[in-house]
Structure 1
Amino acid sequence: MNNFQETISFIKEQYNTNEFIPLHVPKFNGNEKKYVLETIESTFVSSVGAFVDQFENIMTQITNTQKAVAVVNGTAGIQVALRLVGVKAGDEVLTQALTFVATANAIAYCNAHPVFLDVDTDTMGLSPIAVENFLIEFGDLREDGCYNKKSGRKISACVPMHTFGFPVHLDELIRICRLWKIPVVEDAAESLGSEYKGKPTGSLGDLGVFSFNGNKIVTSGGGGAIVTNSIPLGEKGKYLTTTAKIPHPYEYVHDEMGYNFRMPNLNAALACAQLEQLDGFLENKRTLAEEYASFFASKGIKFRTETPDTKANYWLMCVELENKEERNLFLETTNANAVMTRPIWQLMYRLPMYANCQRDENANAEFLEERIVNIPSSVR
């Protein structure tokens, strides 16, 4: 069994340090200080300001969509996106068990029930085959949508998550969901800059949601964005996330339950400066991914790479070990030597609040859960 010392040395060489190497840290080499200072000097540091508008415009350009809505974080974005496509209390939402907990939490915040289905081994994201098999067995297609024959609940949305920036098989997934009258909300929190058949992730479903948390490829400190090619949906999203207030010079009129999910102008300023550098970040990370791929191939370790017809942003890079025992040894050895590594998430149905949710066998997800480890992936 490999003791992984050569791996540790190689990673330290890539980052030219013998100090602690974190998993992913932001890089501030652009106009971050300038734009944040401009915001402070303008006094518009809260939820209204020029940088919020600028951020939304940049996001429509990057994602090739018609409308973007700045929000406080990606989780809130998914919650609102689900409401926009019609998810109501008591409904069900199809998603993957192999995901960060925010995906499931956003569904629960809508008082809906997640249904955890398997992933594909090549993308580590929601499997169209698993979705189709589930719907063939449990789906009941009616005039007003799809219902679960087992629970009697309406299946109101499907949320695929592009794991670590690797796009899921979107064409097939969207085709299946359209047949069953199920809207698709892309959890693109990790995939800013990734492409599926030449199209940006987040732009193919009914809506897409991105995260700008501190550990993402581009950060606003904290923040998110909803994107869509439906201007009515986008405008409704902006309205709901800004307390559902009817525009008026001075009166406070709110005609439905909204959310105070606005991204502050201060955070938007940071995001704009970061987005200006996105292309450079992507190129830098793809170079690192190529170097990792070459090194790990020489060591007989599987480094996860993008699938055909896709372009991954390589947000968090990862290796696939032979089994759980080798995974644990890799984690222990690297972290003991000041190289941060991290296992992929526990499957959602292992968490107490989601233990009773309906699911399939999740054979692929359980296989990956025991083998996938993230390695340092910061822009150098």
Structure 2
Amino acid sequence: MNQQLIEFIRDIYRTNEFIPLHAPTFAGNERDYVLQTIESTFVSSVGKFVDQFEQQIQAYTGSTRAVATVNGTAALHAALYLAGVKHGDLVLTQALTFVATCNALYHLGAQPVFIDIERASLGLCPEAMSEWLTRNAEIDDSGQCRHKASGAVIKAAMPMHTFGHPAKLDELITVCEQWHLALIEDAAESLGSFYKGQHTGTFGQFGALSFNGNKVITTGGGGMLLCRSEAEGEHAKHVTTTAKRPHPYEFFHDEPGFNYRLPNINAALGCAQLEVLPAMLANKRQLATHYARFFCNSDYVFVEEPDYASSNYWLNALICPEKRSRDELLKATNDQGVMTRPVWTLMHRLPMFTEALRGDLTNSEWLEARLVNLPSSPTETFNA
């Protein structure tokens, strides 16, 4: 199987050279727009492209307001801050996620509570979340959700749309409403993914997108904060641009803020990338279809979008029969210059989060031992 897979991937990408996991594609107006910013001298946080990029993401996602940030972690950090997460608060999230999800909590002094995922979407499991809250939480007289044992406020739930596959948002929203929790979506990987026709990141109070170099489209480094209301959007932009009050020449900052504004030169790259996003998504969907067909009569399970969703298939994921077959696949492919990767080490195994509260993580641990990401860059094969 491993050698057949390597040959299959090399045939798709039409090369005997190294094949990365997910490389950016620059095939449009990227050079032109970036040069425009250089010629204008507006390469930092002020310029036409950063405003345009916000407006275009807002329109594409259907968000009430979109606020550009320097990266996805900054968008998550700002979202948690704006949602009122404070030092000592607890936030329910998943152990199977990229570390940025938990880093954003750490830098606010908040603590993650790790809840299991469900296997179909790889996202936070609403049933597991409900069960943990029923056993461990209560609503106090003021209407706040608190951890029974410690008294700590449980402020929010933060699902991550893993590899671009939308989590079960309707059910998660129901649990959040029952327990008075803010919903913040880590949608970093899911630009172009839709849950029942609505874009991810627009269901919670806030959502966060990423435009890192390995995402579906890139600004080099960049993120976007999606806001549910215009007022929240105005405040988000204010806080992420150092909370400076507008004035022709005076510097007055009316609250603590972040220097998180996306530079115009990065946004120029993003505007050009957005122009080819529909073609990119179609290309990636076709690639996923080819992978699914390749594995359909094998003991390996290709992760397909949930039946309620349309996924961007950011990273194609494969579930191996067991850990040994996973390790053999990883070694064979990487030894022959085809980049594959295991899923992230579960967050509760990392030294800074070993003491975090957690529920039963059976699905997370099962997938950690079996899941492999396959090369997922858009390919010219499907453009011919």
Work out whether the TM-score is over 0.5. Answer: yes
Alignment partner of 1:257 is 2:277: no
Query: Partners of 1:91 and 1:250 in 2: how far apart?
Result: 39
Query: Partners of 1:149 and 1:300 in 2: how far apart?
Result: 44
Query: Partners of 1:165 and 1:107 in 2: how far apart?
Result: 21
**Partner AA of 1:367 in structure 2:** W
Alpha-carbon deviation of 1:234? Answer: 1.0
1:318 partner SS:
strand
Structure 1 vs Structure 2: percent identity of aligned residues? 53
Residue 126 of structure 1: aligned partner: 124
1:178-327 counterparts in 2 under 5 A?
Answer: 178-327=177-326
**Partner AA of 2:100 in structure 1:** A
**C-alpha distance after superposition, 1:161-192 (max 9, x if no partner):** 00000000000001110111101010000000
2:182 partner SS:
coil
Residue 366 of structure 2: aligned partner: 367
Alpha-carbon deviation of 1:256? Answer: 1.1
Query: Partners of 2:312 and 2:92 in 1: how far apart?
Result: 25
Query: Partners of 1:297 and 1:321 in 2: how far apart?
Result: 13
- Of residues 13, 16, 23 in structure 1, which corresponds to 2:14? 16
Query: Partners of 1:188 and 1:98 in 2: how far apart?
Result: 14
Residue 64 of structure 1: aligned partner: 62
Alpha-carbon deviation of 1:298? Answer: 3.2
1:184 partner SS:
strand
Alignment partner of 1:350 is 2:349: yes
- Of residues 64, 83, 101 in structure 1, which corresponds to 2:99? 101
Query: Partners of 1:327 and 1:233 in 2: how far apart?
Result: 44
User: Cα RMSD between the aligned structures?
Assistant: 0.8
Alignment partner of 1:54 is 2:74: no
Q: Is the 8 A contact 2:116 2:124 kept in 1?
A: yes
Residue 137 of structure 1: aligned partner: 135
**Partner AA of 1:21 in structure 2:** I
Alignment partner of 1:151 is 2:167: no
2:97 partner SS:
coil
TM score, norm. by length of structure 1: 0.98
1:68 partner SS:
strand
**C-alpha distance after superposition, 1:225-258 (max 9, x if no partner):** 0012211111111011000111111110011110
**Partner AA of 1:95 in structure 2:** T
Alpha-carbon deviation of 1:299? Answer: 3.4
Query: Partners of 2:43 and 2:341 in 1: how far apart?
Result: 35
Query: Partners of 2:213 and 2:167 in 1: how far apart?
Result: 24
Query: Partners of 1:168 and 1:23 in 2: how far apart?
Result: 23
**Partner AA of 2:301 in structure 1:** K
Query: Partners of 1:208 and 1:33 in 2: how far apart?
Result: 29
**Partner AA of 2:335 in structure 1:** A
Query: Partners of 2:150 and 2:159 in 1: how far apart?
Result: 22
Q: Is the 8 A contact 2:299 2:321 kept in 1?
A: no
- Of residues 28, 34, 37 in structure 2, which corresponds to 1:36? 34
Query: Partners of 2:144 and 2:276 in 1: how far apart?
Result: 42
**Partner AA of 2:63 in structure 1:** T
Query: Partners of 1:72 and 1:155 in 2: how far apart?
Result: 28
Alpha-carbon deviation of 1:275? Answer: 1.0
**Partner AA of 1:28 in structure 2:** F
Residue 172 of structure 2: aligned partner: 173
Query: Partners of 2:85 and 2:149 in 1: how far apart?
Result: 19
Comparing 125-134 with 136-145, greater Cα deviation is found at 136-145
Query: Partners of 2:157 and 2:274 in 1: how far apart?
Result: 28
**Partner AA of 2:179 in structure 1:** W
Query: Partners of 1:360 and 1:136 in 2: how far apart?
Result: 12
1:298 partner SS:
coil
Give the unaligned 5+ runs of structure 2: 380-384
Q: Is the 8 A contact 2:340 2:375 kept in 1?
A: yes
**Partner AA of 1:119 in structure 2:** I
**C-alpha distance after superposition, 1:25-80 (max 9, x if no partner):** 00000110010001101100000000010010011111101100000000011011
**C-alpha distance after superposition, 1:328-377 (max 9, x if no partner):** 00000011111100000010000000000000120000000000000000
**Partner AA of 2:297 in structure 1:** S
Alpha-carbon deviation of 1:144? Answer: 3.7
Residue 382 of structure 2: aligned partner: none
Query: Partners of 1:16 and 1:336 in 2: how far apart?
Result: 18
Alpha-carbon deviation of 1:17? Answer: 0.6
Query: Partners of 1:12 and 1:218 in 2: how far apart?
Result: 23
Query: Partners of 1:129 and 1:234 in 2: how far apart?
Result: 31
TM score, norm. by length of structure 2: 0.97
Alpha-carbon deviation of 1:21? Answer: 0.4
Alpha-carbon deviation of 1:150? Answer: 1.9
